[in-house]
């Protein structure tokens, strides 16, 4: 309607109508067929199982616009050293920051030493030197369990070494330097060529430390060194005995170790048997003891008392039923019976075997083979002990005679015919077979010698 009115009034439509968008047909993907379609269905949308991130490589990090951190070649001093040596190392940060901070050496905290008591010469003379007479040590003392009169006389003859301030000071300096490593201290100990054992050094050190703590505790009553003082009691005799026992334990033979293990096993068996007998004894006493009345009978005259008594009896019955042993398995008795029968049969077989051996020993032929025969007796009985290995089975002696080549054998036969002997003996006994082998070998050697002689004769004729 509006378009007709505009035509009558000669009013043109100056506004252009928007053009319709034409759909651009995109090329369709060719549908997959055959094995490609099945493979695509197996892959699905082909999404990775893990989110893939673009990792920054080393080359990319080098090209990044980050400012590198500054490092400073700074000097430091180790507070644990007393010589004031200054070393240098690289520290992260600018030079101004590092010099302003001046941090302590980070490994200095690991230099920890034991807190060993110290004393002066006046303190030593005041409360330590008083008990030095008790601290006298035998130079050649050795751990021994049995004291005899000879040992006591020998100990009296050996001179005893006493401690003074200089040697005690030397011992404490070594203990502080090596942190109470007594084997190292004993190895480095060299004071005026005095011979001290490890136990001597330990006893002196702990005794002096105990006296110092007692003196400090008397000066300061608030000090809590009571437990430490009691822990510093060192017994040299116990330490020597302990090392002697340990040395004897390490020097045991395998037979002694096995014997100790057997004794331990037997002791455990005795312990188990004792526990079992105590349990059985307690059960027997419990059965023999008469039941004691825990209350008056009047409490069971009412209905409530009877109900309580019934419940109590049922509980005890149920408990006895639970504690009763399981019924015996019938197969156990059968197995025991079969085992006894097998043992009886085995015993009978052993007796039969012993009886056969006894009868065999009574046989004269067996006794003849058991005794050692002389060569003359072996010859009489036709016995021979073969040293060489014999092929198994039965064979004739004639099969074991030495054989030669056809030409050699024919010449041996011709020589035997000239001598009036047969090629094979009539009765080939062991001796005859041996002599025949010797004769054949001698004839063979004679033929070889004749051959060599003819050869030499022909050569000599040619040379003439």
Q: What's the CA gap between 349 and 140, in Å, rounded? A: 71
Q: Are 384 and 378 a contacting pair, CB within 8 Å? A: yes
Q: Name the CA dihedral angle for 451, 457, 458, 460, rounded to a multiple of 10 degrees.
A: 150
Q: How far are the Cα atoms of 398, 405, 431, 438 from residue 443, in angstroms, in the given order?
A: 19, 14, 18, 9
- For 354-367, how does the pLDDT look when each residue is reduced to its tens digit (9 = 90+)? 888 777 767 766 66
Q: What's the CA gap between 442 and 448, in Å, rounded? A: 10
Which of 63-67, 92-96, 297-301, 398-402 is modeled with the greatest confidence?
A: 92-96
Q: Are 398 and 424 a contacting pair, CB within 8 Å? A: yes
- For 265-286, how does the pLDDT look when each residue is reduced to its tens digit (9 = 90+)? 999 999 999 999 999 988 888 8
User: Tokens for 403?
Assistant: 């054989």
User: Tokens for 39?
Assistant: 């493979």
**What is the pLDDT at residue 370?**
62
Q: Which H helix or E strand runs over 89?
A: strand 86-92
**What is the pLDDT at residue 292?**
56
Residue 51 has pLDDT above 70, yes or no: no
CATH of 121-129+161-251, one of 1.20.120.1200, 3.40.1350.10, 2.60.40.10, 1.10.10.60: 1.10.10.60
User: Tokens for 305?
Assistant: 């008392």
Residues 6+ apart with CB under 8 A from 305: 299
Residues constituting the chain: 464
Quick one: pLDDT band at residue 388, thresholds 50, 70, 90?
confident
**What is the pLDDT at residue 397?**
73
DSSP type of residue 400: G
The dihedral through the CA atoms of 164, 165, 170, 171 has a sign that is positive
Helix (H, G, I), strand (E, B) or coil at 229: helix
Q: Which of 434, 441, 443, 389 is nearest to 416 (CA)?
A: 443
Q: Name the CA dihedral angle for 425, 431, 433, 439, rounded to a multiple of 10 degrees.
A: -90
More confident residue, 172 or 227: 172
Q: Name the CA dihedral angle for 402, 404, 406, 408, rounded to a multiple of 10 degrees.
A: -120
Q: What's the CA gap between 62 and 200, in Å, rounded? A: 68
Q: Name the CA dihedral angle for 398, 401, 407, 410, rounded to a multiple of 10 degrees.
A: -50
User: Tokens for 263?
Assistant: 């004794």
Residue 176 has pLDDT above 60, yes or no: yes
Domains in the chain: boundaries: 71-110, 121-129+161-251, 404-463
Mean pLDDT over the full length of the chain: 78
Q: Which H helix or E strand runs over 75?
A: strand 71-77
Q: Are 158 and 139 a contacting pair, CB within 8 Å? A: yes
């Amino acid at each position: 309607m509006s378009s007709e009115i505009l035509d009558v009034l000669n009013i043109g439509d100056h506004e252009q109508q928007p053009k319709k968008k034409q759909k651009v047909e995109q090329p369709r993907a060719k549908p997959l067929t055959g094995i490609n379609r099945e493979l695509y269905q197996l892959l699905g949308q082909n999404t990775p199982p893990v989110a893939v991130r673009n990792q920054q490589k080393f080359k990319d990090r080098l090209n990044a616009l980050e400012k590198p951190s500054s490092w400073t070649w700074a000097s430091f001093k180790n507070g644990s050293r007393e010589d004031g040596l200054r070393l240098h190392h690289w520290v992260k940060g600018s030079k101004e920051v590092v010099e302003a901070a001046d941090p302590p050496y980070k490994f200095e905290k690991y230099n920890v030493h034991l807190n060993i008591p110290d004393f002066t010469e006046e303190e030593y003379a005041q409360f330590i030197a008083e008990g030095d007479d008790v601290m006298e040590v035998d130079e050649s003392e050795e751990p021994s369990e049995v004291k005899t009169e000879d040992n006591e006389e020998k100990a009296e003859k050996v001179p005893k070494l006493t401690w003074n301030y200089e040697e005690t000071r030397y011992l404490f300096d070594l203990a502080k330097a090596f942190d109470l490593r007594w084997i190292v201290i004993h190895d480095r100990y060299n004071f005026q060529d005095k011979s001290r054992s490890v136990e001597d050094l330990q006893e002196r050190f702990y005794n002096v430390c105990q006296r110092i703590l007692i003196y400090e505790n008397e000066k300061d009553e608030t000090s809590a060194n009571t437990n430490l003082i009691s822990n510093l009691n060192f017994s040299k005799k116990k330490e020597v005995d302990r090392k002697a026992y340990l040395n004897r334990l390490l020097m045991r033979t395998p037979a002694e170790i096995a014997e100790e293990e057997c004794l331990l096993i037997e002791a455990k068996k005795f312990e188990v048997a004792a526990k079992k007998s105590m349990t059985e004894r307690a059960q027997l006493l419990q059965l023999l003891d008469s039941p004691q009345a825990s209350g008056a009978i009047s409490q069971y005259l009412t209905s409530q008392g009877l109900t309580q008594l019934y419940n109590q009896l049922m509980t005890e019955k149920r408990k006895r039923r639970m504690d009763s042993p399981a019924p015996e398995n019938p197969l156990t008795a059968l197995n025991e019976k079969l085992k006894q029968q097998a043992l009886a049969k085995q015993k009978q077989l052993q007796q039969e075997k012993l009886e056969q051996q006894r009868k065999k020993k009574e046989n004269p032929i067996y006794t003849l083979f058991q005794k050692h025969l002389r060569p003359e007796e072996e010859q009489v009985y036709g016995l021979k002990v073969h040293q060489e290995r014999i092929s198994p089975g039965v064979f004739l002696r004639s099969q074991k005679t030495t054989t030669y080549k056809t030409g050699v054998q024919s010449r041996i036969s011709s020589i035997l015919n000239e001598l009036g002997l047969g090629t094979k003996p009539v009765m080939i006994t062991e001796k005859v077979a041996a002599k025949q082998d010797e004769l054949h070998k001698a004839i063979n050697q004679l033929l070889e010698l004749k051959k060599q002689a003819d050869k030499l004769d022909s050569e000599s004729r040619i040379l003439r």
